[in-house]
Amino acid sequence: METLGIWIGALCTLAIFSYLLRENPFFRTAEHLFIGMAAGIGIFYGYQSIVTNAWNPLFNPGDEPRQWFMIVPLVLGVLLYTRFLKKGKWISRIPLGFMVGVGSALAIRGVIGASFMNQITATMSLPLWGVMSKFGIDSLLFILGVLGTLIYFYFSREQKGPLKVGASIGKWVMMIAFGASFGNTVMARMSLLVGRIYYLLGEWLAIL
C-alpha cells in the first residue's frame, strides 16, 4: 500500500511538473484529481467541524453542560443555503453580513494595534543617529524610509515637489525590502524543489 502511495505521489508530481512544457492531459488529470480530492476532504472536515464544534455541544453534550448558544452558528449556517431558493435568496445575506462584520472587527483591531501603533512606537524610539557602531546614520535611514513610505501611500495630494521626493524615497526603500524578501522566499522554494526531487529520486526510484 505504501509503494502504491509513493507511485501515485511521484506520477502526480511529474504530471504537475509537465505544465512547465505546456498544458497537457497529464497535468489536467492531476489538476482534476487534486480539486476532486480537496472537495472530498473539505466535505469530510466540514462535517466533522459541525459535529464536533456545534452539534455535539448542543445535542449530545455528554457530561459537559449543554451549550445552547451553538444554535446561533447552526442556524446561520443553514441560512447560507437559502441562496438556492428563488424567493428567499436575500436571507443568505444575513449570515454573510455576520461574517463580513466579524472579519472587519478583527481587521480593525489588528490594523490599529499591530500595523499602526506598534510601527509608530518602534520607529519613534529610534534616535536620529548612532544606533549601530559602524554606521552612524542607520537609524536616520530607517526613519526616512518609514516617512517616505508613508508619503508614497498618501493619496489626498498629487505627488509633486517635496511629496514626490518623499514618495521616491519610499518607493526605493520598499523595492529594496521586496528584493530581500524575494531572495529569501526563492531560497525557501528551492528547498521545496530539492525535497521533491529527493522524493522522486530517493523514495520512488531509489537511486539516492
Partner 1 sequence: MLEEIFVVNRLVLFVLTILVAVVLLVTIRQAKKGKKFFIRRIAGLEAIDEAVGRATEMGRPVHFSPGIAALSEETAAQTLAGLAVLGYVARLTARYDTDLIVTNRMPEVLPITEEVVRQSYLAEGKPESYNPDNILFLSDEQFAYAAGCMGIMAREKVAANIMMGAFWAESLIFAEGGFIAGSIQVAGTANTHQLPFFIAACDYCLIGEELFAAGAYLSQEPMQVAGIKVQDWGKLVAAVLILIGTITTTCKWPVIIDFFSRYAS
Q: Which residues bind partner 1 (CB under 8 A)?
A: 16, 19, 22-23, 27-28, 30-31, 34-35, 37-39, 41-42, 80, 83, 92, 96, 99-100, 102-104, 106-108, 110-113, 116-117, 119-121, 123-129, 139, 143, 146-147, 150-151, 153-159, 174-175, 177-179, 181-182, 185, 189
**How near is the Cβ of 155 to partner 1 at its closest, in Å?**
5
Looking at the Cβ atoms of 52 and 115, the one nearer to partner 1 is: 115
In the chain the first and final C-alpha atoms are separated, in Å, by: 22
User: SS3 of 160, please?
Assistant: coil
In whole angstroms, give the CA distance from residue 202 to residue 208: 5
**How near is the Cβ of 144 to partner 1 at its closest, in Å?**
10
In whole angstroms, give the CA distance from residue 207 to residue 199: 10
**How near is the Cβ of 13 to partner 1 at its closest, in Å?**
12
**How near is the Cβ of 207 to partner 1 at its closest, in Å?**
27
**Cβ of 113: how many Cβ atoms within 10 Å?**
10
Q: H/E/C letters for each residue in 16-31? A: HHHHHCCCCHHHHHHH
Looking at the Cβ atoms of 113 and 202, the one nearer to partner 1 is: 113
- Crossing angle of helices 2-17/25-50, nearest 10°? 120
Looking at the Cβ atoms of 121 and 133, the one nearer to partner 1 is: 121
CB proximity list for 124: less than 8 A, separation 6 or greater: none
**How near is the Cβ of 136 to partner 1 at its closest, in Å?**
12
